[in-house]
Structure formats: structure tokens, C-alpha cells
């Protein structure tokens, strides 16, 4: 596989300098390393700037409703578990509107990888606070500054039993691509929250702001991502220093194994030659 195999003809509609470009390149590089043809990959998204990413990669794509990427991805994975399912979603899409699906799909633990473009803002709708916006930040809607504390997606994911919890940075493409590949190789729900500068609407969490703070947690050989308590502390770190890398990793029984569907042929493989739905449909006429 070559990066050209994943080139889409769609025109990219992101602002020049947006962190989403770095994520797009990292996703394509990961797919090249994975070595599976485009027909075996499904990119799923909801609505937002982040959710446009599947349009820019030549694979299967499902672009659903705001906040509803995860149930669509879950359905597709259950129907055809041979697919590599990658969800690209925003902080609003995944942790706000789709927060309920985030919680229950971590519990479900289907084998899928979720890449959250976390720009700490609603980008597409022009700059309202999202669930991860830092407290105090002034926006056109939160004119006195955000009064709520941000939610902590990595801590939530660890608490809910996710087996792969990571943070990347869109400006470090090689590192991000490594994280996405590790997430895909993990058997179960993998979360990769990506620090992604929005150059148009988030004037606080800029490239300069993130670059001064991020450090790679896995460079420190004394850090053990299998240690849940250590992972909680690491996930809570947010301030002058922000850890990126694999924060937590553990083996978990996947939904496919727990439910037994993994032992049966996938739904898409069922022989339907003898089924004529016309008789059934007559009931609804």
C-alpha cells in the first residue's frame, strides 16, 4: 500500500494551518503501515470539522449525525467484523452530543479505534465552548469566560474500563501515527484524544501553547502504562506539562468474544440466496 492509494478527490474545506491536516496525514500514514486495502477499512464520523476527515481518504465512509458516529461504527463492526473500523470525531461530537455513546461503547468494548480531534472548541459552528474548553476561556457565546470545569476524557475512559487510552498531538505526525497503529492493533475499544489547534476560533490553545507543554510519556522507561493508578495520575496531568503517548493499556475481553459473535460467520457473509423479502414486505403495504 502507498499513500496515493488513499488519496481522495474531495476538495479539503479546512482553514489553512488547522491541526486537522496533521491528523489526516497521520491517518493515511497509519493505513499505509497497516497494509490493508481501502475496501477493508471503514472510516466513520458524525458532524463537525473533524467529521469531514473520512471524505478526504479513499476508503469506505459513513458520515452520520452529530454525536452519533459510535453507534453507526458499532453496527458496522457487528455486521462485518473483518473491517478495520476507525472513527474520527470532535470533542463536541464525542464528549458532548455523543457523550452517552462514548460511555456505553467503552463498556461494550467492540474492536474499534476512536480518534478525537480535540481542539477544545466547536470549530464548525464557529467557536462556542465545547466540553473540553478550559475554564475561563472567553468565546463569542461565553462572553464572561467559561464557568464550567472541562471534562477529562482520558480519566473517564480509564474509569470505564477502556483497554487502550492515549493522547496525541497533531503537530507530531510520526508519534500520532504510531499511536493510531497501536490503537488499531489493540483488540477492543481504543481511544486516542488528539490535541488539535483550531487556528480560527481557539486563540488560547495554540501550536505554541501545546508545543511548550507536551512531553512523551513513553520515553520514560519508569512509566508503566499497565499500572491503572499511575495511568489515572498521568491522565489528570494538565497544565504546564501535558503528557502524550499511551497512557493506559490493558487486555480486555472484547464484545465480539463476550457475545460469541466472534465465533460465528459475520452477518455480511450469510447466504441470503433463499430469502425473498418481497413476501415479508407485503405485510407493510
Report the residue closest to ligand TPP, judged by CB. Answer: 90
- Binding of Mg ion by 90 (CB under 5 A): yes
**Whether the Cβ atoms of residue 180 and residue 113 lie closer than 8 Å to each other:** yes
Strand order through the sheet with 214-216:
60-63, 41-45, 84-90, 112-118, 189-195, 164-169, 242-249, 214-216
> Does 97 engage in binding with Mg ion (CB under 5 A)?
no
The one among 26, 31, 41, 48 contacting ligand TPP by CB under 6 A: 48
Among 50, 106, 156, 157, interactor with ligand TPP by CB under 6 A: 50
Interactions with ligand TPP, residue window 77-136 (CB under 6 A) = 90-93, 97, 117, 119, 121-125, 130
Q: Which does 249 bind (CB under 5 to 8 A by kind): ligand SF4, Mg ion, ligand TPP, none?
A: none
Contact of residue 230 among Mg ion, ligand SF4, ligand TPP, none (CB under 5-8 Å per partner type) = none
Interaction partner, residue 200 (ligand SF4, Mg ion, ligand TPP, none; CB < 5-8 Å by kind): ligand SF4
| Residue from 199, 216, 218, 230 binding ligand SF4 (CB under 6 A) | 199
Question: Residue 93's binding partner, choosing from ligand SF4, Mg ion, ligand TPP, none, with beta-carbon cut-off 5 to 8 A by kind?
Answer: ligand TPP
123 binds ligand SF4 (CB under 6 A): yes
Binding footprint of ligand TPP on the chain (CB under 6 A) = 47-50, 66, 90-93, 97, 117, 119, 121-125, 130
Amino acid at each position: 500500500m502507498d499513500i496515493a492509494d488513499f488519496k481522495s478527490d474531495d476538495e479539503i474545506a479546512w482553514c489553512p494551518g488547522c491541526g486537522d491536516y496533521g491528523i489526516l496525514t497521520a491517518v493515511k500514514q497509519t493505513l499505509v503501515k497497516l497494509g490493508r486495502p481501502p475496501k477493508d477499512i471503514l472510516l466513520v464520523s458524525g458532524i463537525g470539522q473533524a467529521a469531514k476527515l473520512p471524505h478526504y481518504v479513499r476508503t469506505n465512509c459513513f458520515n452520520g449525525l452529530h454525536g452519533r458516529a459510535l453507534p453507526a461504527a458499532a453496527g458496522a463492526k457487528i455486521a462485518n467484523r473483518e473491517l478495520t473500523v476507525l472513527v474520527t470525531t470532535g470533542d463536541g461530537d464525542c464528549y458532548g452530543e455523543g457523550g452517552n455513546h462514548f460511555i456505553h461503547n467503552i463498556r461494550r468494548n467492540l474492536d474499534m479505534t476512536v480518534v478525537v480531534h480535540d481542539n477544545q472548541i466547536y470549530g464548525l459552528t464557529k467557536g462556542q465552548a465545547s466540553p473540553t474548553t478550559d475554564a475561563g476561556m472567553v468565546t463569542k457565546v461565553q462572553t464572561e469566560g467559561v464557568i464550567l470545569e472541562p471534562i477529562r476524557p482520558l480519566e473517564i475512559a480509564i474509569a470505564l474500563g477502556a483497554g487502550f487510552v492515549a493522547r496525541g498531538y497533531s503537530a507530531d505526525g510520526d508519534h500520532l501515527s504510531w499511536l493510531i497503529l497501536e490503537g488499531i492493533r489493540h483488540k477492543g475499544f481504543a481511544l486516542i484524544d488528539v490535541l488539535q489547534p483550531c487556528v480560527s476560533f481557539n486563540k488560547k490553545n495554540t501550536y505554541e501553547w501545546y508545543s511548550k507543554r507536551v512531553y512523551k510519556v513513553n520515553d520514560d522507561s519508569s512509566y508503566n502504562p499497565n499500572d491503572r493508578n499511575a495511568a489515572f495520575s498521568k491522565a489528570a496531568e494538565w497544565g504546564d506539562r501535558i503528557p502524550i503517548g499511551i497512557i493506559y493499556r490493558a487486555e480486555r475481553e472484547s464484545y465480539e468474544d463476550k457475545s460469541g459473535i466472534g465465533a460465528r460467520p459475520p452477518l455480511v457473509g450469510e447466504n441470503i440466496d433463499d430469502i425473498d423479502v418481497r413476501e415479508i414486505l407485503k405485510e407493510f403495504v
